[in-house]
């Protein structure tokens, strides 16, 4: 094992009576939280966790409704997910952290920074949701009426096992062979049980309608002006277009933008070494934010340009 790498452990916490699975690595004072995307799990961060943990404590939860965490009938809004991250950090005795979110997790990360500004030291958005209307048909479809009655057929074991057929289907919505296809395929395969499908549909409908994303953080990005922000995007992303990353960067002039030219929706898996280097450099080169109620109040009272 390289001296830079740290072993990744899988742990469980019980929060509000529900089991939450999370991966953790390292024991440094710096805390990095990694939040996965829809139909994903903490497994998506596997290629980068050990290296990120060289001088930090890295925590990657399976959000409720995902992976090996509980799938209760309940609230699957961005606010509820952000509160779940806050509760896990409190459970683990970690008061403040650099919050990293991919896809849906980016929306959760922004919501976390909005709800708990005193707990967010830095914000990292990786091919993030919530930054523009456009989203691939693959994610709009579950928002359609009666989708919950069609999904059991699509997620049936014979079809899930028909790898070539699933590959052709995903190819038609723009996903290229390789990392994107593998990760989306794994997410598709996770929908085999009723509880997971129910959580998936509820999550999609809380943020997406048949026309695209209906939740946007762009009118609140000014509130993060004092929060060091890194935006990472795959230039070949066919689920959430890279122009969303450029627009967010323009709305946050102090942010840093890194575009991975050969990556799609999962740059942290397409080029994990570069992702680790970019993220660690960002952390090392920025001072953690210290945002209090007065600074939030001041920002809210400043005149803002209308969208």
Asked about 262 being catalytic, the answer comes back as: no
271-306: buried (b, 16+ CB within 10 Å) or exposed (e) per residue? bbebbbebbbebbeebeebebeeebeeebeeeeeee
Asked about 103 being catalytic, the answer comes back as: yes
Tens of pLDDT, residue by residue, the chain (307 residues): 344 567 999 999 999 999 999 999 999 999 999 999 999 999 999 999 999 999 899 999 999 999 999 999 989 999 999 999 999 999 999 999 999 999 999 999 999 999 999 999 999 999 999 898 888 777 766 666 655 545 554 454 544 444 444 445 555 545 555 788 788 878 877 887 888 888 888 898 888 877 888 887 877 787 777 899 999 999 999 899 999 999 999 999 899 999 999 999 999 999 999 999 999 999 999 999 887 777 777 877 877 654 4
Asked about 265 being catalytic, the answer comes back as: yes
Within a 10 A sphere around the Cβ of 56, how many other Cβ atoms? Answer: 21
Whether residue 243 contacts residue 137, with contact meaning beta carbons closer than 8 Å, is answered with: no
Name the active-site residue from 66, 102, 249, 265: 265
Whether residue 79 contacts residue 108, with contact meaning beta carbons closer than 8 Å, is answered with: no
Chain CA centroid to CA 197, Å = 19
| Domain residue ranges in the chain | 8-131+218-301
Name the active-site residue from 127, 237, 249, 271: 237
Residues ≥6 apart with Cβ < 8 Å to 209 = 140, 143
Whether residue 120 contacts residue 289, with contact meaning beta carbons closer than 8 Å, is answered with: yes
Paired residues of 30 in beta bridges: 56
Sign of CA dihedral 43, 1, 232, 28: positive
Name the active-site residue from 42, 69, 103, 128: 103
Q: What is the CATH number of domain 8-131+218-301?
A: 3.40.50.1820
């Amino acid at each position: 094992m390289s001296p830079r790498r740290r072993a990744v452990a899988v742990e469980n916490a019980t929060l509000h009576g529900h089991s939450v699975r999370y991966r953790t690595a390292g024991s440094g004072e710096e805390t990095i939280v990694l939040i996965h995307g829809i139909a994903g799990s903490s497994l998506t961060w596997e290629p980068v966790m050990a290296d990120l943990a060289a001088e930090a404590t890295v925590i990657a939860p399976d959000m409720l409704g995902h992976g090996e965490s509980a799938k209760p009938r309940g609230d699957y809004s961005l606010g509820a997910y952000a509160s779940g991250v806050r509760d896990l950090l409190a459970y683990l005795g970690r008061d403040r952290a650099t919050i990293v979110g991919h896809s849906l997790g980016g929306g959760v990360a922004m919501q976390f920074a909005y709800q708990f500004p005193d707990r967010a030291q830095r914000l990292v958005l990786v091919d993030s949701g919530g930054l523009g209307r456009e989203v691939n048909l693959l994610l709009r479809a579950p928002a359609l009426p009666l989708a919950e009655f069609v999904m059991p057929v699509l997620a049936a074991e014979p079809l899930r096992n028909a790898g070539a057929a699933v590959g052709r289907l995903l190819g038609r919505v723009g996903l290229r062979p390789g990392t994107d296809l593998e990760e989306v395929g794994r997410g598709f395969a996770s929908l085999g049980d009723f509880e997971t499908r129910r959580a998936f549909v509820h999550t999609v409908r809380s943020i997406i309608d048949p026309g695209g994303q209906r939740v946007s953080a762009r009118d609140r990005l000014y509130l993060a002006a004092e929060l060091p922000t890194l935006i990472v995007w795959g230039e070949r992303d066919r689920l959430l277009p890279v122009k969303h990353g450029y627009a967010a960067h323009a709305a946050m002039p102090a942010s840093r933008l890194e575009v991975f030219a050969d990556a799609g929706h999962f740059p942290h898996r397409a080029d994990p070494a570069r992702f680790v280097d970019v993220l660690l450099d960002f952390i090392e080169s920025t001072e953690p934010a210290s945002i209090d109620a007065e600074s939030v109040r001041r920002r809210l009272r400043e005149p803002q340009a209308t969208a």
